[in-house]
Amino acid sequence: MSLADALAGPVDQAARALLGCHLTVGAVTVRVTEVEAYSGTGEDPASHAHRGRTKRNAVMFGPAGYAYVYFTYGMHYCMNVVTGTEGIASAVLLRAGEVVGGLAVARERRPAARTDLDLARGPARLCSALAIGREFYGTYLLDGHLTAPDGPAGEITTGPRVGVTGAHDVPWRFWIAGDPTVSEYRRHIPKVR
């Protein structure tokens, strides 16, 4: 099955297909090691499209293969790959990866990283290493930015999503078992007022 076909399928299957893929932006390439799936309106309260289409999430409604980039906490960009059927929102958050090309450039962009394994560990760090910002929103990824792995990514593990208040126990976080670039799991704890 081609990567395009996999991305057009159900979001949890698309998430698995993204593991091991290479994402190249400019001079840096990252091998995707961890992702999270988010389905469309109504059924997934953790999804940005849960309450319907907005200017911010419009690209999530398809077609598959486009970048959904958003700004979070007033300081970081995160990127999702749009999946599924056009008209029904779903996307996969790229949570972590290993820099496999352009290591020196990634180090310049992430001087605070303690080790090379930390360069793209976490969704905001991944975007920073790749210099992905708001201008990347809506970019078609299957024309050279995102490529399928040469072979199986390895054993895939699944567990709860990170940092979401709704549907946090849905096991739609997927990662390559034992990969040292996978981010540390932190369950969201709501603030008591």
pTM of structure: 0.91
Domains of the chain: 3-176 (3.10.300.10)
pLDDT digit string, tens, across residues 111-163: 999 999 999 999 999 999 999 999 999 999 999 999 998 888 889 999 887 76
For 43-104, the three-class secondary structure string (H helix, E strand, C coil) is CCCCCCCCCCCCCCCHHHHCCCCEEEEEEECCCEEEEEEECCCCCCCCEEEEEEEEEEECHH
pLDDT digit string, tens, across residues 89-103: 999 999 999 999 999
Mean pLDDT, residues 47-55 taken together: 65
Average pLDDT, the chain: 88
How much of the chain, in percent, has pLDDT values that exceed 70? 85
pLDDT of residue 180: 95
Mean pLDDT, residues 165-192 taken together: 77
